[in-house]
Structure 1
Amino acid sequence: MQRVIRSPLALLTLGLITTLAVWLWGMNGMAILERWAADGQRDTQNAMAGLLRRLKSGDGAALFALLGFCFAYGFFHAAGPGHGKVLIGGYGLGRRVPLGRLAGLALASSLAQAATAVALVYGGVFVLDWSRERLVATAEAWLAPLSYVLIGMVGLWLLLRGLRKLWTQRASPAGQESGEHAPSHAAHNHDHDNSHAHHHADAACASCGHKHGPTFEEAAEVRSLRDALVLIGAVAVRPCTGALFLLILTWRMGIDAIGIAGAFVMGLGTASITVLVAVLSVTARESTLAQIASGPATLRAMSLIEIAAGLLVVLVAAQLVSSAI
């Protein structure tokens, strides 16, 4: 028989995440969160402007306060609706990736976003001789839509990948999961009992040594540099507007190093939210799978979750693209 896991902690976690989703998308919570994040960004930006003037006048004590507000700005920036959270969350739901690895990707993508801002400002200023308006316009008019398109492509990849796996599972003979393949094993002179079939979906057959599917541990061990670069690049291609303003102001004031440090601290503030999203997405996925029978049922559930996550990312990306053009 298939084994069903019932974990009270998993049920509680899944219930809390479901409640949060209902509040965000069903009870106007997203609009409330967006207003709160916008107010926080405005207040921290005003505070940063005052601290920059103090630094320019020689008040070195203002440096740590400025970096603190840079972190706060990144936090508020990430707390509002954004593409980085959608991508990290969708990927965490759709792929059985270990939490530590996904959190590392979230951190790397946030820091890469800061690096893009630095490259855009100093490349635009020193190489292309662009004005502040041109730099910001480039980020908003070109890089933002490009980022959303790349995110949509990742979502489409998750969607198609899940559909392909589900189709493969449905197309394979039902007997492969129930022991009807015994005649082929008989050619190996194996003596099967009824319990033999129940292990095929998870590991190698104890009698014949054949593997009838990857184990969860093997799936979790899959590493792809390509996936990591795509995820990081899709987020990083669109730099934070607040980081652009900070870098431009500090360049004009002749305190470039402070601006660059502040941009990366903003990235850490952004990462504080994206890492949290990574934790929630992995927890939601594992809590859902924990309520489903192991074996073929779990494999089907993983495919369906991947399809749903990919579709969500595609829909959100399409909405972002339409609002940006």
Structure 2
Amino acid sequence: MRGAIAIALLAVGGGLLALWFSGGFDTLSAWAAEQQRSFQNGMALTLRALRGGEPGALLALLGGAFAYGFFHAVGPGHGKIVVGGYGIARAVPMVRLSVIAVLASLGQALTAIVLAFGGLWLLDLGRERMVGAAEDTLAPLSYAMIAGLGIILVWRGLRGIRRQKAAVHAHTHDHAHHHSHGHGHGHGQGHDHHHGPGEVCDSCGHRHGPSLDEVSDVQSLREAAAVIAGIAIRPCTGALFVLIITWQMGIPVMGIAATIAMALGTASVTVAVGLAASGLRGGLLRTAAGWVWVMPVLELAVGAGVTVLSLMLLGRAI
């Protein structure tokens, strides 16, 4: 069974590499971009119908916005790469990973709303200047934050490898020097006062530190916040387009609704990628059961990949 899983994973990986080198991803990106343009034009027509009070125009707008967000996520972008990479590198429950993906997409929508309405109302900026701010300032900042997350994953992977090396070294040097001294070391004073992490002290009734689970939860929350912020800080240009048009047409609430629908369309892809990544991680761990190096090596590899990709995108953006 493990052999079959390993073969399947290798086949999937090989297929993706073949698709990459054959230019298949470029074809997919071009197709997704064409679909985005089509739905963007459709949304522009729907907005005119909505302003004219035509029945069904709102549902058509929300459906078109959702579809635009879906195809936007299918095309090139760092959101699904970050969520997928995080799902492979870290032991994140599927529900939590799905929530992270949804919150990241909604965060993008919130950033677009703040940038668009803030720029229009407070700074009187036009569409081109706002898109320029998103692409020239927020995009590089987003890539830098994601690169930082990748570096953290690399560091965690290296630390895990060092720990495994230390454990193997300790095991091979067998510390079982079980000296059975003929005298008891019974300290009647009760100095046996060792407590594990999170355990309650018998004498004072307080815990002397957080439990390992609590520390892990705090680290997980920080990582989740970093993932969400790294994705959410860069708004979708399609959302800016809709928000600006609806502001000029006097129906900004409809623009907000369309932006949220667009975010949910994006989330539908990133959630699927995250779940697939989590399942892939589980398959790899089951296949390599007993190989103590698999988790730190996996974390190191994914962290390096996310870092390199983010730095490449950062280099193009600046």
Aligned partner of 2:177 among 183, 198, 204: 183
Structure 1 partner of 2:105 = 110
Structure 1 partner of 2:315 = 322
For 1:24 and 1:90, locate their aligned partners in 2 and report how far apart those are by CA, in whole Å.
Answer: 19
For 2:143 and 2:19, locate their aligned partners in 1 and report how far apart those are by CA, in whole Å.
Answer: 21
Structure 1 residue 134: Cα displacement = 1.5
Does the C-alpha gap of structure 1 residues 55 and 279 become closer, same or farther in structure 2, counting only changes over 3 Å? same
Structure 1 residue 148: Cα displacement = 0.6
Structure 1 residue 161: Cα displacement = 1.1
Aligned partner of 1:229 among 225, 229, 252: 225
Structure 2 partner of 1:252 = 248
For 1:127 and 1:184, locate their aligned partners in 2 and report how far apart those are by CA, in whole Å.
Answer: 75
Structure 2 partner of 1:203 = none
Does the C-alpha gap of structure 1 residues 172 and 250 become closer, same or farther in structure 2, counting only changes over 3 Å? same
Deviations 1:207-235 (A, max 9, x none): xxxxxxxxxxx79x745321121110000
Does the C-alpha gap of structure 1 residues 182 and 251 become closer, same or farther in structure 2, counting only changes over 3 Å? same
Deviations 1:279-309 (A, max 9, x none): 1211111111111132xx23x1100000000
Structure 2 partner of 1:293 = 289
Structure 2 partner of 1:211 = none
Q: Secondary structure at the match of 2:2?
A: coil
Q: Is the 8 A contact 1:86 1:316 kept in 2?
A: no
For 2:239 and 2:162, locate their aligned partners in 1 and report how far apart those are by CA, in whole Å.
Answer: 45
Does the C-alpha gap of structure 1 residues 49 and 12 become closer, same or farther in structure 2, counting only changes over 3 Å? farther
For 1:263 and 1:97, locate their aligned partners in 2 and report how far apart those are by CA, in whole Å.
Answer: 28
Q: Is the 8 A contact 1:90 1:155 kept in 2?
A: no
* 1:18 matches 2:13: yes
Structure 1 residue 62: Cα displacement = 1.0
Structure 2 partner of 1:134 = 129
| Greater Cα radius of gyration, structure 1 or 2 | 2
Aligned partner of 1:124 among 108, 119, 130: 119
Structure 1 partner of 2:304 = 311
Structure 1 residue 254: Cα displacement = 0.6
Q: Is the 8 A contact 1:13 1:283 kept in 2?
A: no
- Kindly provide the amino acid, as one letter, of the partner of residue 309 in structure 1: V
For 1:77 and 1:86, locate their aligned partners in 2 and report how far apart those are by CA, in whole Å.
Answer: 13
Structure 1 residue 168: Cα displacement = 2.2
- Kindly provide the amino acid, as one letter, of the partner of residue 134 in structure 1: R
Q: Is the 8 A contact 1:139 1:238 kept in 2?
A: yes
For 1:222 and 1:6, locate their aligned partners in 2 and report how far apart those are by CA, in whole Å.
Answer: 31
Does the C-alpha gap of structure 1 residues 131 and 186 become closer, same or farther in structure 2, counting only changes over 3 Å? farther
- Kindly provide the amino acid, as one letter, of the partner of residue 38 in structure 1: A
Structure 1 residue 17: Cα displacement = 3.4
Deviations 1:226-279 (A, max 9, x none): 112111000000000000000000000011111000001000000011011101
Aligned partner of 1:59 among 29, 39, 54: 54
Does the C-alpha gap of structure 1 residues 149 and 181 become closer, same or farther in structure 2, counting only changes over 3 Å? same
Q: Secondary structure at the match of 1:58?
A: coil
For 1:154 and 1:141, locate their aligned partners in 2 and report how far apart those are by CA, in whole Å.
Answer: 21
Deviations 1:110-149 (A, max 9, x none): 1110011001111112222222221111001100111011
For 1:112 and 1:272, locate their aligned partners in 2 and report how far apart those are by CA, in whole Å.
Answer: 14
For 1:105 and 1:81, locate their aligned partners in 2 and report how far apart those are by CA, in whole Å.
Answer: 20
What runs of 5+ residues in structure 2 fail to find an aligned partner?
Answer: 182-212
* 1:275 matches 2:268: no
Structure 1 partner of 2:166 = 171
Structure 1 residue 69: Cα displacement = 0.6
Structure 1 residue 180: Cα displacement = 2.2
The normalised TM-score by structure 2 is 0.84
- Kindly provide the amino acid, as one letter, of the partner of residue 121 in structure 1: A
CA RMSD of aligned residues (A): 2.4
Does the C-alpha gap of structure 1 residues 54 and 12 become closer, same or farther in structure 2, counting only changes over 3 Å? farther
For 2:90 and 2:250, locate their aligned partners in 1 and report how far apart those are by CA, in whole Å.
Answer: 46
Q: Secondary structure at the match of 2:37?
A: helix
Structure 1 residue 16: Cα displacement = 5.6
Structure 1 residue 74: Cα displacement = 0.2
For 1:126 and 1:184, locate their aligned partners in 2 and report how far apart those are by CA, in whole Å.
Answer: 76
For 1:185 and 1:107, locate their aligned partners in 2 and report how far apart those are by CA, in whole Å.
Answer: 58
